[in-house]
Amino acid sequence: MSQKRDAAIVGIHEYPSRDVEGEISPLQIKAESAAKALSDAGLNWSDVDAIYDAGDGGGMSGLNIAEYFGLNPNVIDTTGVGGSSYEFHAAHAKRDIAAGKAKVALLTYGSTAHSNARAIGVGGRGGGSMHPAENMDAFAGMTLIANYAMVAHRHMHQYGTTSEQLAEISVATRYHAMRNPEAVRAMEDLEFLDIRETTINDVVNSRMIADPLHLLECCMISDGGGAVVIASPEVARDCRKPPVWILGSGEATKYPKNGGDITSSAAVQSAPQAFGEAGVTPGEIDIAMIYDSFSITVLTLLEDLGFCKKGEGGAWVSGGRLRFDNPNGPALNTDGGGLSSNHPGMRGIFLLIEAARQLRGESTSQVKDARLAVAHGNGGMLGSRHSAGTIILGRD
């Protein structure tokens, strides 16, 4: 490969517990994860000169997180765009390192959504006032999952997509989760019933949550967190683990418009940027770490990332194509994803972590000779305003 190598992921850590029972705070999860990610890289706290934070540790996150970590960074980036924040952070870290503003960047996430009993998907979005940007949906009481169900219905109506085709996504991620001890423990701690590999019939016969989305097509609500360390080439060469290079990135947003197509996401804009910068095509990707809040999220994003044409995703994912041991690939969410491993509210950092594991050869559902991965985060609500962050990763 001849891609430009300005920055690399050199350290990762995923907080193992998905149910902390109120015994640890989001800030503590972030700090413990950061310490272990730095150790994974063979670096120290004193090496960090750039912090990227999405506000999960509390207000004024740029000030608070630097103080909590005891650092005086040269770069503080508090971009907060929901679940794709960490893909945005990785892109910004690459740019800041290439510009000479920093050498070691630290991305952290911590959440106790499960312990706090946050109704992320089905709770109301009401409040004392209505933000002008929400005047097309929130006034009617639309929940987050209802928004995604609307996209699924439209996709089915417009392209003939079936529930059985959407179920392929849940089946593949559970297949991977059952090979990941931390994912299995997560399902046990969160009191999943009948923990095992699932079938398409299992998915379509699970109870309806928001028509046409069934229970097994919806992400879990967990606690958790993690950290990613990104470093300059000079630092990366001396780290403990082989570098995972950030080869390309893309960022975009989308919002409701009269006559707009809700089956197309902001990835239509971010993906060409990322693949173009990396100089690769979707057909070359071995690992697809795609935000899986719901099954329809993945199907839509796979199309918009260019793996198949719009409307052809249902047929494209069929036949177990997304399993790590299917040579037709790419392998989808090999840690188990948000559907069967963890989803503490914003899952973008875990996409980077598992993609890095795969390219290091450390995954529990390891793809043989994996060389290229895409990590794509989706923030907000797919059928209305949302963000898209696309990162292409590669190994030497």
Structural domain total, the chain: 1
Residue 133: the pLDDT is 63
Within-domain flag for 189 = no
Provide, rounded to the nearest whole percent, the portion of the chain with pLDDT above 70. Answer: 94
Domain CATH number, residue 98: 3.40.47.10
Residue 4: the pLDDT is 86
pLDDT of 203 higher than 60: yes
Within-domain flag for 150 = no
- Separation between Cα atoms, residue 395 and residue 23, nearest integer Å: 38
Residue 1: the pLDDT is 44
Please give the average per-residue pLDDT across 377-385, as a whole number: 93
- Separation between Cα atoms, residue 228 and residue 107, nearest integer Å: 5
pLDDT of 307 higher than 90: yes
Residue 184 phi/psi, 5-degree rounding, is: -60, -45
8 A C-beta contact, residue 57 and residue 64: yes
Please give the average per-residue pLDDT across 79-99, as a whole number: 97
Angle between helices 267-278 and 295-304 (to 10 degrees): 50
Within-domain flag for 59 = yes
Within-domain flag for 143 = no
Buried b (16+ CB within 10 A) or exposed e, 96-106: bbbeeebbbbb
- Separation between Cα atoms, residue 389 and residue 228, nearest integer Å: 16
Find the domain containing 321 and state its range. 8-116+221-395
Which class for 371: exposed (0-12), middle (13-18), buried (19 or more C-beta within 10 A)?
middle
Parallel, antiparallel or unpaired: strands 331-332 and 75-77: unpaired
Q: Count Cβ atoms below 10 Å from residue 16 Cβ, excluding itself.
A: 13
For the chain, report the end-to-end CA distance as a whole number of angstroms: 8
Residue 63: the pLDDT is 85
- Separation between Cα atoms, residue 62 and residue 53, nearest integer Å: 7
Q: Count Cβ atoms below 10 Å from residue 315 Cβ, excluding itself.
A: 15
Mean residue pLDDT of the chain comes to 94
Within-domain flag for 323 = yes
Please give the average per-residue pLDDT across 263-269, as a whole number: 98
DSSP code string of 43-106: --GGG--EEE--STT-SSHHHHHHHHHT---SEEE----GGGHHHHHHHHHHHHHHTTS-SEEE
Within-domain flag for 56 = yes
- Separation between Cα atoms, residue 42 and residue 36, nearest integer Å: 10
